[in-house]
Structure formats: structure tokens, C-alpha cells
Chains A and B, each alone.
Chain A
């Protein structure tokens, strides 16, 4: 059965302290891996899509990478406004849009 596991569950960082979030997946034929950011009381906000192993995408202080078994979201020199829950989701072959989400990593960045 397809599975998406995110770690750690929660992460507390000092401003400027870089770190990485992990998303490991087991799917039968990955078609896309998605990273979203969710702020309290709001809907998931799209960040990146990765389609194949070796692919990398960057946006401001965030960089997402993908291997055949996992994806990392690297946060470089985070700021307090980077505090959010980061969600990873996958689309598998034959899923036709059925996104399967991980439980998320809650990131808190303190000044």
C-alpha cells in the first residue's frame, strides 16, 4: 500500500539555523511529489512539484530535492515567517489526482 511518512513531526529552529525536513514515500510508480505550506487556519499553499529523482527546486529560503525513496525540504537561514506546517504529498501511477499526504512537519522559527 502507498505510504508517505514525514519526519520530524515538529521542529523548533532559531532564526538563521538551517535544517531539513524529510518525506519518505512508498508508492507504486511515482508521478509527482508535492510540497505545501499550511499556516494555522488556512488551506495548504503550493510550494513545489518534483517529478523525477535528482530533480531540485528552489524558492527563496526553501529548496526541495527528490530521490527514489525520499524528498527533502531544506530551509536555509529561516526567518520567523517561515513558521508553518510543511506537508508532503504524492501522486502515484493510476491515482488520477488522488493526492496522498503525509502528516506534516510543524516548523517554528524563533527570533
Chain B
């Protein structure tokens, strides 16, 4: 029944580790996104994929690498985690990559780097 789902919901790890967050949508949408919400609750886009093609790649450290095995899934892999990576990461999807399409968000993954 869930439209956009993410796993895990919580992720606690040590500095220097590599971790992945998975996202799946069952809405039949063509476009998926990753957003980061920092401690001040400000949401900022990181990446966007349309039909498995990267279309938005904001100024994000190259330790972050998105991967889309198919248009229903978009995973986020983070290498060499740093303290500043601690945040809540949200996945979202929209029907197309148009300028008017509503984006629907997942429940978020709270990443804590110790």
C-alpha cells in the first residue's frame, strides 16, 4: 500500500564506513529524487533520476553515489561517511520530470554518523 518506501528508517554508523539507503516506489512514476534534510530542517535536493538516467546532480561530495537499477528503485550509496553526513535523507518520486509535477516523499532515513 505504501507509495514511496525507504530502508532502513534509522542508520547509525561509525565515521569512515560505507552505507547504502534503498528507496522503492509503487506509483508507476518515471522520476525519483534524493533530498537531504539537515538539523535545521531545511530540505535540499541532491539527485534526480528519470527512467534510470541521472538528470539532476547537485553540488554533492562524490562520496555520494546514486544508483537506479530500474525506474521503481533509487538507492543512495555513501562512502567514507563523515560526521557532517548526519541528517535525514528523503526519497521522492514524480510522474515525470516536468516542471509542474508533484513529488511524493518517502518516510525518510535518519543517518547518524558517530
Give chain A's interface residues, CB within 8 Å of chain B: 31-32, 34, 36, 41-46, 49, 51, 85, 87, 89, 91-101, 103-104
Contact = CB atoms under 8 A, between A and B. Distances in A.
26 contacts: A32-B102, A34-B102, A36-B105, A41-B108, A42-B108, A43-B4, A43-B90, A43-B107, A43-B108, A44-B90, A46-B103, A49-B100, A49-B102, A51-B100, A87-B43, A93-B99, A94-B99, A96-B48, A96-B99, A97-B56, A97-B97, A97-B98, A97-B99, A98-B56, A103-B40, A104-B41
Interface string B82-114: 000000001000100111111111111000000
Nearest to B90: A43
Given A41-B108, A99-B33, A103-B40, 20 more contacts: A31-B100, A34-B102, A36-B105, A43-B4, A44-B43, A46-B102, A46-B105, A49-B100, A49-B102, A51-B100, A85-B41, A87-B43, A94-B99, A95-B99, A97-B33, A97-B99, A98-B45, A99-B35, A99-B43, A99-B45
A99 B103 contact: yes
